[in-house]
Amino acid sequence: MRALANRTILVCLTLVLVPAASAATVEVSMSVDDTELLVGQTTTLHLFAEVSNGVANNGIWAYALNVLGDAAGVAGMNSVVQYGSPDAGFSNPGAIGPDGLRDVYGGDGGFLADKNRGIGTPYELLAIELLATSEGNVTFGAEAADFSVILGINSGFLLQQAGPVTVDFGDGASLAVVPEPSSVALLLGSLCLAASRRRRRVN
């Protein structure tokens, strides 16, 4: 807890003392390895961020995000991997719940060492394993973390240079969990049988 408080103070001091840079835009995009699964199968959801109008040495420094689904019970999250070697004192894989992942954050460390991350090219921040749990459709989207303001990352992202950051969280990524082929064949067979019986009654 003390480490988090120290980091928060550091972020606030940086925002106050570093000369403001021009406004920058971070674009978030997401994809899944498989857009269609059977119940019990897994796939990976990837989250990328790009500084679309960035300048040299003003890449991504820190993030604080939620990654949530719009339909409960279709696909759950098994695990999350944070890429980019964020500092252990300023990173947390968040908490996985029924609606998705909340309050995952990272920064400093490898991000501070590589000041150009995400400039002009999407940089993968997170890989989340999904497990299909019931038939249906779900779209996962990102937003600023619940406690992003406490961390001093109001918009969900901080860049190397202090200044306003506009974030476009995009459309997210969709996943369909479909019936097994045998179930579909059984359903079609039942429908054909019912239609055949109706025809016999009419004749």
* Residue 10 DSSP label: H
As a whole number, mean pLDDT of residues 82-102 equals 97
* pLDDT band with cut points at 50, 70 and 90 for residue 6: very low
CB 120 within 8 A of CB 59: no
pLDDT in tens, 96-117: 999 999 999 999 999 999 999 9
Q: Which residue has the tokens 């604080």?
A: 64
H/E element holding 17?
A: helix 2-17
* pLDDT band with cut points at 50, 70 and 90 for residue 71: very high
* Residue 92 DSSP label: B
Q: What are the DSSP calls for 122-155, one per residue?
A: -EEEEEEEEEE-SSEEEEEEEEE-TTHHHHT-TT
- Rounded CA-CA distance 118/138 in Å is 27
CB 176 within 8 A of CB 38: no
CB 132 within 8 A of CB 177: yes
Looking at the chain, the whole-number percentage of residues with pLDDT higher than 90 is 75
- Rounded CA-CA distance 106/125 in Å is 9
Q: Is the pTM of this model over 0.75?
A: yes
Q: Which residue has the tokens 């978030």?
A: 28
